[in-house]
Each structure stands twice: as structure tokens, then as C-alpha cells.
Chain A
Amino acid sequence: MIVAERKPFEEIKAMLSGYPRVLVVGCGTCVAVCLAGGEKEVGVLGAQLRIAAKMAGNGVQIDETTLERQCDREFMEPLAKDIGRYDALLSTACGAGVQLLAELYDDKPVFPALNTNFIGVAEGPGVWTERCRACSDCVLGLTGGICPVTTCSKGLLNGPCGGAVAGRCEVDPERPCAWGRIYDRLEATGRLDELAAVQPPKRHNIHVQPAQIVHLAYKRRYGL
């Protein structure tokens, strides 16, 4: 899922200065799972903002609401009836959600409370690691299910660089060398020969940013 982290409090506070009535809009999907922007975190952030504002003597109204998610318009449409009561929106969604919220309510400043980091998995409660870069050209079938684009710091496709020390990446000794892992896994399953072929460079134009995908079954609906 998408893994994000709440921005430093001071940064968020600075964004909201000058806006007396703010609605904090949470998201109940990815960012709730990574404990950054779900209902719970919205409650905490709202309380922190109110306390901080009152300590500074600012009369400010901070309300809270959490939606199922902010990447689908249908979940955000119900906000329309109350949105007039606010001067600014603070979204705790990932970057995608913030944008859709801003698009829907484009007459209001919409601020991001989070920094969106990566597509990843939970290693355990409170720990998430990056696993996918959405490169549009998945090679996981060739590397034993270990992504060289993401888990190799340099995104190398043909084997390790010379920088690994005792199987640890030159960038961070806490991280294993991805190619060491790929090699081990394929060796253990007798598939080392699959690594012999020279892999060509990545194709970066499969989806030129900003990309759009239209499902086959829906092309006719949009006249495509």
C-alpha cells in the first residue's frame, strides 16, 4: 500500500496560519494502515492544532472528518454541503488524495499534512518497507520475486555493483544487497542460470508522466 508520514508539526502549523476555520480531512485506507492519516491520527492532529493555536492566543476552529478514502470522488462528494463553513482544508491523504480533494473543492486552499513516501508492505506493526516503484515494467519474474529497481539502491538490473560489504549495501550497512538476496534465492531454488542473460535498460516511456490508464472494458464509454 501507499506509505506516508505526517509532516513535522511546525510545517503543518505554518501552512494553516491565517485560516481561522480549518477542516482536517482524513483518509481511512492506506494512510490509516500506516498510522499516518486515519481517523485516529486526524483526532490527534486536530487536538494538537487546537491546543497549539490556543496557546498562541489564536482563535481558530479545527474540525475533523475522515472519509473512506480520498482517491475516489464518490467518497468526497458528501463534504460539499459543509465545505462552505471552512476557509481551508488540511488533508491527511496521500498526494493523490490531496489532489483529488483540491480538484473537487478548488476554491479552497487544500494543504497536505503528510509526505507520501512509497509503495510498500508492513514488516510488522509500525514498520513499513519500500517494495515497489511503479516502474510499469515489472521484472519480478526474473529476479526471484525481489525487486532490483526498488530494493537495489541503484536500481541495477544485471547484478550487484562492487560496493556491497559482507552482503550489505554500500549506501546503508543496515540494508542487505538486493542482488545478494536475488542470487541466494535463485541459487537455493536451482534457477541461477536465469540470471545469465543480459537485461536491457528499462523502458521509461511505457507511461510518460502524468500517466493515465483506461481499462479495456471502459474504453468505449469514453470514446477511446
Chain B
Amino acid sequence: MSEQQFEPRILALICTFCTYTAADMAGSARMQYPATVRVVKYLCTGKVDVMHILEGFEAGADAVMVSGCEIGDCHYLEGNLRAKERVEHAKRLLEEIGLESGRLEMFHIGASDAPRWQEAVKMMTERAIELGPNPLRKLAEIEAAAAVAEEEPAPVRALAI
């Protein structure tokens, strides 16, 4: 376990109708939670592709959260169920290559459930700290910086944030 705590960078792939609304509400209510999350807003988590998750890790994300509506409440009926299956599959793909599947998690957070969003981000942040930085993070940052310097597109979409 590293002595100096690093600032995790967590990618959150969340749906418009439920989780995003909850996150928004948490923001308006000034609920406190770690500023570790970068949000990507999907219309529905049903559009989350396994590749998006893998690309997130390739770009150096320390953890990835996928969060959709509560089961049964998906605005598009089954999107969150598909997302759940894909997250399960992505976890297996991560384990295969030696990256901890704990870095990836699926959540179901209803539109009014701001506290749940707060809890989820805290949990994933703690988990990312516990697991340590993504081994690719340094490399991804270097590649992104090099690409910017040479005015070339980065080999992988890096989180240059």
C-alpha cells in the first residue's frame, strides 16, 4: 500500500434519466463527495459498450463506474440490464489480463437518490485508493503529453484532464 495517497481518476458512464439526475441533484444540494469522478453522459447505459470500458482503462482511468436506472425502471426498458451483463463480461476480460475487476462496478441509482450517488462515488474512490493507481496511468499521461507536443492525435483517447 503506497504511503502517499494519490488522487484517483474515476470514469463514470451514467445514464441521463436516472443517475445523471441524481448526480445533478447532489451537486445542487452541495452534497460533499470526492472530486474524483469524470462523468460521461449516456442517454441510456444500454449504449455502454465493453470497448468504452476497456478504452477507459487504457486511457489511464483508475476505476470505471457504470450507473443506470434501478432494475425495472429503465427508460428504455432493458438498457440497464444489458449494461449489467456487459459490465460482468468486462470484469472477466479484466481478470484475464491481470487488471483487478474491482476497478469496475455497475450501479443502479434512481433519479431522486442523490445520497446513493454520493455513496457510490465515495465507495469507488476508496476502492481505487486501495487497489492503487492504474498501472497504465503514467504511460497514458506521457503518451497524451507527447501527442499534444507533436500535434498528433493520441494513440488512444487519453484522459488529459
Could you list which residues of chain A lie within 8 angstroms of chain B, going by C-beta atoms?
9, 40, 43-44, 47-48, 50-52, 54-55
Contacts and interface: CB of A to CB of B under 8 A. Distances in A.
Given A55-B135, A55-B136, A47 B98 contact: no
Given A54-B136, A54-B139, A55-B136, A47 B99 contact: no
Given A47-B54, A48-B54, A48-B96, 4 more contacts: A40-B51, A43-B51, A51-B57, A54-B139
A44 B52 CA distance: 10
Nearest to A59: B139
Nearest to B56: A47
Leading 7 A-B pairs by shortest Cβ distance? A47-B54, A52-B97, A9-B96, A55-B135, A54-B136, A48-B97, A43-B51
Mostly, the B contact residues are helix
Nearest to B96: A9
Interface residues of B, number: 15
Contacts of B139: 54
Nearest to A40: B51
A55 B98 contact: yes
Interface in B21-54: 50-51, 54
Contacts of A9: 96-97
B62 interface: no
Given A51-B136, A54-B139, A55-B136, A44 B54 contact: yes
A43 B58 CA distance: 12
25 contacts: A9-B96, A9-B97, A43-B51, A44-B51, A44-B54, A47-B51, A47-B54, A47-B55, A47-B58, A48-B54, A48-B96, A48-B97, A50-B156, A51-B57, A51-B58, A51-B97, A51-B99, A51-B136, A52-B98, A54-B135, A54-B136, A54-B139, A55-B98, A55-B99, A55-B136
Contacts of B93: 44, 48
Contacts of B156: 50
A47 B94 CA distance: 10
A179 to B, nearest CB: 38
A9 B58 CA distance: 17
Interface string B93-126: 1001111000000000000000000000000000
